[in-house]
Structure 1
Amino acid sequence: MNFVLKEEKGFTYIEEGQGEPLLLLHGLMGALSNWEEVIKEFSPHYRVLIPILPIYDLPILTTGVRALSKFVHKFIKFKKLNKITLLGNSLGGHVGLIYVLAHPGYVKALVLTGSSGLYENAFGGSFPRRENYEFVKEKVAYTFYDPAVATKELVDEVFETINDRAKVIRILAMAKSAIRHNMKDDLRKITMPVALIWGRDDKITPPEVAVEFNQLLPNSHLDWIDKCGHAPMMERPQEFNTYLKAFLERIKQ
């Protein structure tokens, strides 16, 4: 990935392009590179921003989805953003949901893909054999429909992360926080346009999760991507970008 990583005022982020802001939030085990094809496709027409969420830097007692939402608000204020379209994958979607409930005035629309917030088979739930590389490889591959998407580089990154004791403690704390913070009773309050772009073969947040989001969010639209797992923007970027482009056209003012 050839995008410049900026560091300012305690934030590390990518910012590409000009126009209305698209703010992308990565998942628990995600990285900025997960959004590479989205940046390439949309930065000619939008201001695309991706902050690194401080999952490993929060004090252990405050490690949780609410703390990440507060961090996102600080970043949005720092960059003076408004009329944001907020995109979140997995944990990033969950953080986005919490954020729009707290600060709806900053966000124009929401895009969720493989979002937690209702139910997830959390990869971060436990790591009984984290020293076993093949076990970790299997777990990473489980994220995708096509195991080949779990490249050696990706597996190596996850293996290194979960074998760092300080990081794994925070991953477990964050995963538990996400499970505790169920959004079911709050979703009806989110009345802005919401796009749900979901892998039909997602095993982490299965299809029934997308259906429930669609039923509970009053202004939502659900698109399916076949032969696709938990991270459509990585595994099926062309289809994901096609659905995202159509949604952005619908909400243009």
Structure 2
Amino acid sequence: MDHVLKEEKGFSYIEAGEGETLLLLHGLMGALSNWEDVVNEFSPHYRVILPILPIYDMPLLTTGVRALSKFVHKFIKFKKLSNVILLGNSLGGHVGLIYVLAHPGYVKALVLTGSSGLYENAFGGSFPKRESIDFVREKVQYTFYDPAIATDELVNDVFVMINDRHKVIRILAMAKSAIRHNMNKDLRKITMPVCLIWGRDDKITPPEVAVEFNEMLPNAELHWIDKCGHAPMMERPVEFNRYLKAFLDKIKK
């Protein structure tokens, strides 16, 4: 991603464009680059902001999805944002759900893709602790329908991450927090427009998760992308952006 990473007041983020704000939240092992095609497509017409979630910088005792939601609120207040359209993938979607329940007045609409919050089959049921690069490659490929999306660079990034004890401890703590914080009883309270864009071949948050979200969220719409796994905005960016644009057009002021 070519955009410059800004560092201000303890926040690291990318910002591009002007207009209504799209705030993008990455997943547990995701990166800002996961949203690159969304930034490129929408920054000519929207103000697109991607903060780095401080998953590895929190005190271990407070590492969890609620703490990330509080961080998002601090960031929104710091940037003086309002009427935000919040987009989240995987853990980022889960954090978005918790945030809109706590601070609905700051958010206009929510977009979820491969979101946790109901059920997540992380890494295919096992966590790759200090294993061989081939094992890690297999687990990263599990994220996508097309294994070619798991590039050497992506695999190496994950391999380095899971061989960092400090990061592994927080990844596991965050994953456990996400499992504990099930959103089942809260979804009906979220009445704002919600767009669900889901890979039909997502093995981490499978299709039945999207169906359940769609049934329980009062004002939701669900769109499927065929031959697509857990990160549609990476694997099928053209289709993802088409659904996103249609939703944004629908909710324009």
TM over 0.5: yes
Q: What letter matches 1:31 in structure 2?
A: A
The aligned counterpart of 1:54 is 54
The aligned counterpart of 2:31 is 31
SS at match of 1:212: helix
* Contact map agreement 2:196 2:223 (CA 8 A) in 1: yes
Per-residue deviation, 1:126: 4.5
Question: 2:137 & 2:187 partners in 1: Cα distance?
Answer: 35
Unaligned runs of 5+ in 2: none
User: CA RMSD of the aligned region, Å?
Assistant: 1.0
Q: After superposition, what is the alpha-carbon deviation per residue over 1:136-173, rounded to whole angstroms, capped at 9, x for unaligned?
A: 00000000000000000000000000100000000000
Normalised by the length of structure 2, the TM-score is: 0.99
Per-residue deviation, 1:122: 1.5
Distance 1:125 1:62, change over 3 A: farther
Question: 1:128 & 1:112 partners in 2: Cα distance?
Answer: 26
Identity of aligned residues (%): 83
SS at match of 1:80: coil
Question: 1:72 & 1:8 partners in 2: Cα distance?
Answer: 14
* Contact map agreement 1:65 1:177 (CA 8 A) in 2: yes
The aligned counterpart of 1:134 is 134
* Contact map agreement 1:145 1:201 (CA 8 A) in 2: yes
Per-residue deviation, 1:132: 1.2
Q: What letter matches 1:213 in structure 2?
A: F
The aligned counterpart of 2:86 is 86
Correspondences of 1:7-46 after superposition (within 5 Å): 7-46=7-46
Distance 1:126 1:168, change over 3 A: farther
Runs of 4+ in 1 over 4 A off after TM superposition: none
How many pairs align?
253
Question: 1:85 & 1:237 partners in 2: Cα distance?
Answer: 19
* Contact map agreement 1:125 1:175 (CA 8 A) in 2: no
Per-residue deviation, 1:128: 5.0
The aligned counterpart of 2:246 is 246
Question: 1:131 & 1:195 partners in 2: Cα distance?
Answer: 37
* Contact map agreement 2:210 2:222 (CA 8 A) in 1: yes
Unaligned runs of 5+ in 1: none
* Contact map agreement 1:28 1:90 (CA 8 A) in 2: yes
